[in-house]
Amino acid sequence: MDNITTPQTGRSDAMRERNERLTRVGPGTPMGKYLRCFWHPVATSAELKKDADIPAIPVKLLGERLALFRSEDGSLGLVAERCPHRGAALSYGMVEDDGIRCPYHAWKFNKKGQCVDQPSEPEGSTNKDRIKIAAYPVQEMGGFIWAYLGPSPAPLLPRWEYAVREDYVQDIGISRMPCNWLQVAENTMDPVHIEYLHMMYTNYVRRRKGLSTIPVRNHKKLAFELFEYGIIKKRLWEGDNEDSPEWTIGHPQIFPGTAQVSYNHGWVQFQIRVPVDDTNTNLYWYNCRPHKAGDPQQIEVPIWDNPWANEEGRYIPEQLNAQDMMVMLSQGDITDHSQENLLESDKGVVLYRRTLLQEIEKVERGEDPMGVIRDEAKNTPWITLPIEEQISFGFDGVQASAAYVAPDLKQTNEHEPAK
């Protein structure tokens, strides 16, 4: 395998440049241009309700500060947050059906970013015609508000199966993490951490608390395969036969950085890693469960906080999701790849980084990267991805997070989804 062992000391110019290409997400950066080829959740529908007293909120995506707003007719707008007049925030502006006015001097911008009114200027002034701010397409789907910050024409917003099926209900856990998106997304490509972080380390914590331990299992084989939308991860646990669906099917890392993971009893979870800027990531735990007969139809997708620290600001080592976030955050705001020593068990991480760099090169050549969808036939009625329906391991009795399931769903957590 090429490029597995990294330097133990020093930091080469090539490694420094590679690290920058993989982690920097702002406008004009190689990774920023690549990530702008995709739709990203910029907020949840619950954060911008149709009946909200303040129908505009500040958001940030890929290093850009934006104002997201909803008009009375329910339509959405997304524009640069800074008013080009005196710099006030449009996210606190006055929303109208066809645009938003700055709260400072009431300059009005339509949903394409064009200034259409400057009420303090003389009648007949054409100054407004030369003023335009950035504006981006937004769509609502599955409880999220999605934004596209890339070049026109925009690709299709992917209709992932469990996000749009009417016989499923969803809820969204939110973790706001002060670190780079890549060290969050790479967690999926490192399956062996389960037997150490979530088994061995969990038992270490539980023994110190006087609690019973959980069984520890080991991986026998790992495989990673490229497919149309990213990478399929496969695992074979010691003691399982090779007809195990975790080995024959596996589950995907959807590029650029969303994991779709399986759970027994029909539960599927998307872990959506959204780069806010270079050193902040929104991690959405998007749970999709079969709708139970007799339950009311879901009207709004509920959201809940999935914390990585307790009220004292300390990590939560006894909780599975918080364990993941602990090791992601403890790497620093942007981890330094030149200080790593990657070995055979890290082949998934190596493949992921190498493929991302190849996809960046595609964008630099003017090509669509892997996973960009422009064919409506592929997107209708939804996109079905390969994923195992049953997993052969679980963490019975171990808490996944402080509020892993939205309280109003009245469901319990029995296992942690496979990662």
147-185 pLDDT, tens digit per residue, is 999 999 999 999 999 999 999 999 999 999 999 999 999
CATH architecture of 39-148: 3-layer Sandwich (2.102)
End-to-end CA distance of the chain: give it in Å, rounded: 23
Instruction: Please give the pLDDT value at position 401.
Output: 56
Cβ contact 255:35 at 8 Å: no
The domains spanning 39-148 and 161-409 adopt the same CATH topology:
no
Say what the pLDDT of residue 233 is: 97
pLDDT for 8:
44
**Stretches in the chain below the pLDDT threshold 50:** 1-10, 402-416, 418
Model's pTM, two decimal places? 0.92
Cα–Cα distance measured from residue 216 to residue 104, given in angstroms and rounded to the nearest whole number: 60
Say yes or no: domain 161-409 is CATH 3.90.380: yes
The structural domains of the chain, with segments of one domain joined by +, span 39-148, 161-409
Tokens representing 167 are 């016989």
pLDDT number for residue 399: 61
